[in-house]
A and B are shown apart, each in its own frame.
Chain A
Amino acid sequence: MISLLKIEIFKIFKRPRTYIAFAVIALIIILIQVALKFGGEEYVGLMLSGMGDSFEKVPPENILNGYLVCFIILNLLLIHVPILVALVAGDAIAGEANMGTLRLLVSKPVSRAKLLFVKFTASVIYTLLLLIWVAILALFVSILVFGVNWLGVARELEFNVMEANDVMWRYALAFCFAAIGLICVASLAFMLSVFSDNSIGPIVATVCVIIVFTILTQMQIPFYDETIKPYLFTTHMLGWKGFFYVKAVDGVTVKGSIENLPAVLKSAAILVLYTLGFLGIAFWYFNKKNILS
C-alpha cells in the first residue's frame, strides 16, 4: 500500500503542471503582499468605511499587520485554490484512462478499491501540501513582513476585533477547516474523474460546479438563500471564517470565544458527508466500470 502511494505521489510531482499551482499561489500571495505594503491604507480605509461616520480614522499601521494580511489573502485565495486542487484530483483516474494505462493498472494484483483509495490519498496529500504552502506564504511570511497586532475582521453588519495572542489558534483551526473543504473539492473532481476517459472533462466540470455554486452562495436572493444555499458545499467552505467571529459581553470581545461553534462544526460535518458521498459514488462506479482504455 505504502509503495503504491509512493508511486502515485511520484507521478503527481513528476508532472511540471503540479508545480504551476505552487508557483501561481506564490505569485498571487506575493502580489497581494506587495500591494498591501505600498497601498494598504486604501484597503484599510475601505474595510473601515462602514464606521467612518461615527469614529475617528483608525491609523492604518494599527490595523494592517501580518494577521490581517493573511485573512485578506485567504479571503481572496480560498475561492481559487479549489480550482488548482481540481487540476490534480480530476486527472487522477481520467489521466490514466487518457494515456491508456488504466487497464494495465487494474489488471495488476491490487483491488480496484485499493487502487482508488491510494490515488485519492495521493490527491489529498497534494491538496494538503498546497494548503501548507499557502499557510507558509500567507501567514508566516506576512507576519515577518508586516509584524503582528490585534486582528480586525470586517463583516457585513459588524466589526470583530481580537487580541494578537488570541489569533494563532484560530488560524490553526481555520487551516484545518480549509483542508476539509479542499478535500471535499478534491473528492468531487476525483469522482468526476472516474466517469471520464479524458482529464480535461473532470477538471473543467469541477471548476464550473465551483463557479456556479460560489455565485449562488454569494448572491443575496432570498429564494436561493432559503432553498438551495444551505445545501451547497461552497456555502459551508466559508466556515473557516467562523473561527474569527467572536462573542462579546457589553461590546468587549470574549477571549478564546467563537460566536457559533456548533454552526462551524455542522458545516465541517456537511463537507465530510459530501466527501464521503462523492467517494462512495466513485468507488461504486469504478468497481463496476468496464475499463477499456
Chain B
Amino acid sequence: MKKLFLIVFAFVTLGHLSAQTPEELINKVKAKLEKVNDYTAQGKLKTNVIFIKAPIASVRVYYKKPDRMKIVNEKGISFIPKGSVNINLAKFLSAAGNYEIVDAGKEATTGLRILKLLPTDENSDIVLSTLYIDEKTELIKKAKNTTRDNGTYELEMTYGKYSSYGLPDKVIFSFNTKDYKLPKGVTFDYDDGSQKKTRDDLKNKKGKVEITYSEYVINKGVDDSIFK
C-alpha cells in the first residue's frame, strides 16, 4: 500500500512538472524579472565585428521599469548594435495577453524548454521571439528575436549571483552586420599591403557584442534625467 502510494505520488508530481504549461513557465520567468524596478550596472563591452577593431570599453548600464535602458560609456568609445537598447525582454513579457505562446518542446542538446512568442499587437517591434528557458532555474538562457526594423538577433545569457532577479552576469548579443564602406577620398588610406578585405567580405556578416557585468545596484532608484 505504501509502495503504491509512493508510485502514485511520484507520477502525480512528475506529471505536474512535465505538465508545466508554457503560460505558467512564462509567468514564473516574468515574476523574477518583475522584482527589478531599476538597476545600475558596471560592465565591460567587447565588440567582435569584422570591420571594427576596438579595445574593451567600460560602460555603465541603466534600467528603469518598464522599458527605459541606457548604456553610457565611462571611458573610451563603444559601439552598441542598433535596436539592442530599445528591445527589452521584461517589457515584452509583461505585456500579458499581447502574445500567443507556442510550445516547441525541448532542445535536444541542452534540455532547455523552447517557447515561441508571437505578438498579437501589430505595432510590436518584435515579430517573433523564441525563448530557451531553463525550467529548473526559471531563467531565459537564450533568445532569438526577429524584429521589424533591426533584423534578427540572438541573446545568450550567463547567470551568476543576480540570477534570483533574472539578471545575467554576461550577455552575448549576436546580430547581422550591414555594409561598412567609406569613400577613399575621405579617408586617404595608406596602402600598407595588409588590407586583404574587399567590400564583399564585409557584407552580411555575424557580429557579436558581449557585455560582462561586474556589479549590479538593484532597486536603489535611477534618476530620470539619465535617460534624456
Contacts and interface: CB of A to CB of B under 8 A. Distances in A.
A156 B180 CA distance: 8
Interface string B33-53: 000000000000011111111
A225 to B, nearest CB: 8
A49 B48 CA distance: 19
Contacts of A63: 77
Interface string B168-201: 0000000101111111111111111111011100
B contact patch SS: loop
A120 to B, nearest CB: 27
Chain A interface residue count: which class? 35 or more
A55 B77 contact: no
A142 interface: no
Interface string A41-53: 0000011011101
A58 B77 contact: yes
Interface in A249-293: 250-253, 255, 259-260, 263-264, 267
A292 B4 CA distance: 126
Nearest to B207: A54
A218 B73 contact: no
A159 B79 CA distance: 11
Interface stretch (B80-88, B89-97, B133-141, B220-228): B80-88
A220 B178 CA distance: 24
Contacts of B54: 159-161, 248, 251-253
B51 A158 contact: yes
A159 B51 CA distance: 6
A251 B77 contact: no
Contacts of B218: none
A40 to B, nearest CB: 14
Contacts of B182: 47, 49-50, 154-157
Contact of B192 (A49, A242, A250): A242
Given A50-B180, A157-B202, A218 B188 contact: yes
Contacts of A50: 51, 179-182
Contacts of A220: 184
Contacts of B48: 250-252
Given A50-B181, A156-B182, A238-B188, A263 B55 contact: no
A241 B188 CA distance: 9
A63 B76 CA distance: 8
A248 B192 CA distance: 16
B178 A157 contact: no
A182 to B, nearest CB: 16
A139 B160 CA distance: 45
B185 A259 contact: no
Nearest to A153: B187
B56 interface: yes
Contacts of B76: 62, 149-150, 161, 163-164
Task: With a 10 A CB-CB cut-off, give which of A53, A152, A157, A246 has the most chain B CB atoms.
Answer: A157
A50 B177 CA distance: 11
Contacts of A255: 55
A235 interface: yes
A197 B128 CA distance: 80
Task: With a 10 A CB-CB cut-off, give which of B46, B47, B54, B207 has the most chain A CB atoms.
Answer: B54
A165 B52 CA distance: 19
B181 A54 contact: no
Interface string A94-131: 00000000000000000000000000000000000000
A73 interface: no
Given A51-B52, A56-B80, 11 more contacts: A54-B175, A55-B81, A56-B85, A62-B77, A150-B55, A157-B202, A161-B76, A218-B185, A250-B48, A252-B54, A252-B56
10 contacts: A55-B82, A56-B82, A155-B187, A155-B189, A158-B52, A162-B55, A218-B184, A242-B190, A252-B56, A260-B194
Q: What 5 A-B pairs have minimum CB-CB distances, sorted nearest first?
A: A251-B48, A248-B53, A263-B192, A161-B54, A53-B178
Interface of B: 46-56, 73, 75-82, 84-85, 175, 177-195, 197-199, 202, 207-208
Interface of A: 46-47, 49-51, 53-56, 58-59, 62-63, 75, 79, 149-150, 152, 154-164, 218, 220, 229, 235, 238-242, 245-248, 250-253, 255, 259-260, 263-264, 267
